[in-house]
Structure 1
């Protein structure tokens, strides 16, 4: 009797193995045989689930940003600027977790691929629309400035957070100094939103 395989579970295990291998030895040094061994499958079986390392990287990028989107979506719509900032802090903490190895060692090589750029750009387009809706509601409630376009505000906050993420990824994200820098960035964002 043929063995029944849960294809979604197998793909998840392969992606987990790929992430582990890329994190341990880097994208360039990792071979498909390394990933197959880590996933506990034959190399031929591995190719039933992906076309190669580039496909795995794209899947990992998509998985990361889909997961982040799902977690952000669960945050309640903020009724005040302070509640928005609390949600922003949670978003930064969610996104920052393991950011250094994830971005620079694992996903970084995929950023050269236009398909990866499309995934990332799609996430930030979604995030800008999501936050712009919140900003429109907060402006109407007179919680934040009403003289700026909500989408422009959302894009500006995203750009500032990109800088914060990059900085914290390059330096010790868990240190007291990093926490102070992150909180200062939030204070500046709040000040800009208040006008």
Structure 2
């Protein structure tokens, strides 16, 4: 009997995750059945359940994978001295995240932004997913905080603003940009990059009274 290689196992797992992501983005988590996932993946129930026990495990795996990639990219940037400027850094990480899922499309448009919004809507009902997202958010926020400290140490960012405030703002900008794509249609990452660059070019505001 031929031995199943790790490459084959990884490819099959990828096939299942991509199929589930498309189904969740198209119809939402609760309107999607495991039968829908089986049909999208063109696999038998046995083949899918070998990897995942059900929808909850599928969506958690998808989210963990995305957050892991984003976290690794920001932690890599935090290790540079000084880190790349915010406009370039955000554009590079977001481009990398979207590129890994560029084959997932619905009606010719990227499915990833719609998937993100569907995941958000599931958080209040899924404690395990909420915990995974909370942990991932904290890790990305901490990595951004270290990046900001690198800017401040290099003298390229004012030092009187707490790094965590900047971290939260940058995460909000990225999440808002993804939400816009889900609601109003695709937009190139350069839009976010150029907007951040313009904001960064403004002179310091007058001190608050």
TM-score calculated relative to the size of structure 1: 0.74
Distance 1:174 1:144, change over 3 A: same
Counting helix residues as a fraction of each chain, which structure ranks higher?
1
- Larger RCO: 1 or 2 (CA < 8 Å, sep 6+): 2
Number of matched pairs: 191
Match of 1:16 among 12, 15, 18: 18
Partner of 1:188: 199
For residue 49 of structure 1, give the secondary structure of its aligned residue in structure 2.
Answer: coil
Partner of 2:162: 149
Point out where structure 2 has 5 or more consecutive residues left out of the alignment: 100-109
Match of 1:170 among 176, 179, 183: 183
Whether contact under 8 Å (1:145, 1:193) holds in the other structure is: no
Find out whether 1:4 has 2:12 as its counterpart.
no
Q: Which moved more, 1:90-99 or 1:27-36?
A: 90-99
Partner of 1:86: 88
Partner of 2:32: 30
Whether contact under 8 Å (2:13, 2:51) holds in the other structure is: yes
Whether contact under 8 Å (2:71, 2:136) holds in the other structure is: yes
Whether contact under 8 Å (2:144, 2:167) holds in the other structure is: yes
Whether contact under 8 Å (1:135, 1:150) holds in the other structure is: yes
TM-score calculated relative to the size of structure 2: 0.70
Q: In structure 1, what is the Cα distance between the partners aligned to 2:52 and 2:131?
A: 19
Point out where structure 1 has 5 or more consecutive residues left out of the alignment: none
Partner of 1:39: 41
CA RMSD of aligned residues (A): 3.5
